[in-house]
Structure 1
Amino acid sequence: MPYLLSLLLLLCLPAQAADVSLRVMGSWDMLSQYQDYEAPFWQQELPRLSDGRIQAEVQAFNKAGLKGSEVVRLMKLGMVDVGTAVLSYISADDPVVEGADLAGMADSLPLAHRIADAYLPELDQYYRERHGIHVLALWPYSAQMLMCRKPLAGIQDLKGRRVRVSLRTSSDLIERFGALTLNIPFDETYQRLQRGEADCLITGTYSAYTAGFHKVVHHLYDFSLGWSVMMLGINENVWQSLTPQDQQVLQQGTAGLSERLWQAADSQTRTGIQCMSGQSACPAPPDAPRGQMVVHALSAADRARIARALQESVLPRWAERCGKRCVDNWQRSAGRVLNPP
Structure 2
Amino acid sequence: MPRLSRVSILSLAAAAGLALTAPAEAQSLRWLTQSQESAAQYPAEIAAIEAAGEAGFDVTRNEFQVLGVNLADALRLVGSGAFDLATVQIGSAAKDDPFLEGIDLIGVSTDMNDLKGAVDAYREAFNARLGEKFGAKAMAIWPFGPQVFLCSADMSSLADLDGLKVRSFTASMSMLLEELGATPVTLSFPEVYPALQRGVASCGVTSPTSSNTGKWPEVTTHLYPLSVSGSVQAHVVNLDWLNGLDEEKRAAFETVMSDLETALWELAITTNGTAQACSTGGECPEGIYTSYEMTLVPVSDADKAKVAEISATKILPEWGARCEASYEGCVDLWNETVGTARGLTISLDTQ
TM-score (normalised: structure 2): 0.86
CA distance in 1, matches of 2:86, 2:57: 16
Q: What amino acid is the match of 1:243?
A: D
Q: Corresponding residue for 1:47?
A: 53
- Residues 1:333 and 2:334 aligned together: no
CA apart distance, 1:154: 2.4
> What whole-Å deviation, never above 9, does each CA across 1:257-309 have from its counterpart, x for those lacking one?
001001101223112211111212x2235x97411111122111111111101
> What whole-Å deviation, never above 9, does each CA across 1:77-131 have from its counterpart, x for those lacking one?
2121111111122111111111111111112111111111111111110011111
| Aligned 8 A contact 2:147 2:229 in 1 | yes
Q: Corresponding residue for 1:25?
A: 32
Deviates more, 1:310-319 or 1:25-34: 25-34
CA distance in 2, matches of 1:82, 1:161: 37
Runs of 4+ in 1 over 4 A off after TM superposition: none
- Residues 1:301 and 2:284 aligned together: no
CA distance in 2, matches of 1:272, 1:162: 25
> What whole-Å deviation, never above 9, does each CA across 1:56-96 have from its counterpart, x for those lacking one?
11112222210112222122221211111111221111111
- Residues 1:92 and 2:99 aligned together: no
Q: Alignment partner for residue 218 of structure 1, among 209, 216, 221?
A: 221
SS in structure 1 at match of 2:96: coil
Q: Corresponding residue for 2:207?
A: 204
- Residues 1:180 and 2:186 aligned together: no
Q: What amino acid is the match of 1:290?
A: S
- Give the length in aligned residue pairs: 320
CA distance in 2, matches of 1:172, 1:320: 14
Runs of 5+ consecutive residues of structure 1 not aligned to the other structure: 1-15
- Residues 1:81 and 2:84 aligned together: yes
Identical-pair percentage:
27
CA distance in 2, matches of 1:272, 1:167: 23
SS in structure 2 at match of 1:223: coil
SS in structure 1 at match of 2:83: coil
CA apart distance, 1:34: 4.8
Deviates more, 1:103-112 or 1:244-253: 244-253
Structure 1's 340 and 191: CA in aligned 2 closer, same or farther, altered over 3 A? Answer: closer
Q: What amino acid is the match of 2:220?
A: V
SS in structure 1 at match of 2:292: coil
Q: Corresponding residue for 1:245?
A: 248
User: Once superposed, what is the RMSD of the aligned Cα atoms?
Assistant: 2.0
Q: Over alpha carbons, which structure has the higher Rg? A: 2
- Residues 1:231 and 2:238 aligned together: no
CA distance in 2, matches of 1:89, 1:31: 22
| Aligned 8 A contact 1:75 1:83 in 2 | yes
| Aligned 8 A contact 1:167 1:228 in 2 | no
CA apart distance, 1:170: 1.1
| Aligned 8 A contact 1:26 1:38 in 2 | no
> What whole-Å deviation, never above 9, does each CA across 1:225-266 have from its counterpart, x for those lacking one?
111111112111111111122222211221110010011012
Q: Corresponding residue for 1:3?
A: none
